[in-house]
Amino acid sequence: MTEPLTRVMLVDDHSLVREGLRHVLAATPGVEIIAEAGDGETALRLAAEIKPDLVVMDLSMPGMGGLEVTTRLRELLPQVKVLILSVQDHPEYVLGAVRAGAQGYLRKDTSPAELREGLRAVARGESYFSPPVARHLTNAVRGEADDTSDPGQRLARLTPREREVLIGIAGGETSRAMAARLGISPRTIETYREGLTRKLGIRTVAGLVRFALDAGLVKPEGQ
């Protein structure tokens, strides 16, 4: 029986990596590479136009990072499946990718055979994590269960700059206003916001504001 065709888009800011992926996946039955993107903005625009079945996504890209792209992509096209392929395998990245809507996660040093296996599994609607990544995910979930009730422990994960950005968010500042105040670019602010989302496991502005209040970084209005 012929396998259903899976239309795949590759998203990675390194052309050499995309070329390697094309080479590996070209020999995979039922897979067609229909588009490539070297940054998040281009990926979202192309996805809206061509509506791929599956996206192989890098995490570390200039501008809009892979976690944010995955979140927006899943909001834009809920039927699209996302397989993360990254050098990053820290538990926070893995858990953040799952929260963003990714169905699979592989390291970039994975074998071609495992890449094909993971892609097929995600295309079928299954979740796929290589064993090291699965262990990281388990550890991340356990760690979250241990400290979600203690804002102080979660706050300790943040860098000083991330705390500043969190305070700005809680105060209602826009990314542009924060960038001007801190002397950095709006895109850098978005990178810090992504780090906050990943480290705290909070995806909404309201949730970040509540956390800032609970952690004592800001005071409720009127106090």
- Segment 33-50, tens digit of pLDDT: 999 999 999 999 999 999
The per-residue pLDDT for 140 is 56
- Rounded Cα distance between 193 and 127, Å, is 27
On whether both 158 and 91 belong to a single domain, the answer is no
At which residue do the structure tokens 């950095």 appear?
Answer: 184
What pTM value is reported for the model? 0.65
Domain extent, residue 181, equals 149-214
pLDDT band at 51 (very low <50, low <70, confident <90, very high): very high
* CATH code for position 106: 3.40.50.2300
> Does residue 1 sit within a domain?
no
Ranges of beta strands (E only) in the chain are 6-11, 31-37, 54-57, 81-86, 104-107, 128-129
Domain count, the chain: 2
The per-residue pLDDT for 146 is 46
Residue 64 predicted with pLDDT over 90:
no
Q: Do 84 and 74 form a contact (C-beta atoms < 8 A)?
A: no
Which whole number is the average pLDDT over 191-217? Answer: 81
Last residue of a domain, one of 80, 112, 142: 142
On whether both 120 and 194 belong to a single domain, the answer is no
63 or 41: which leads in pLDDT: 41
Which whole number is the average pLDDT over 203-219? Answer: 81
Total number of residues shown for the chain: 223
Last residue of a domain, one of 98, 120, 142: 142
On whether both 205 and 136 belong to a single domain, the answer is no
What is the Cα 196 distance to its own chain's centre?
Answer: 12
Q: pLDDT tens-digit profile of 112-139? A: 999 999 999 999 999 898 877 777 666 6
On whether both 155 and 119 belong to a single domain, the answer is no
Sheet containing 31-37: give its strands across.
31-37, 6-11, 54-57, 81-86, 104-107, 128-129
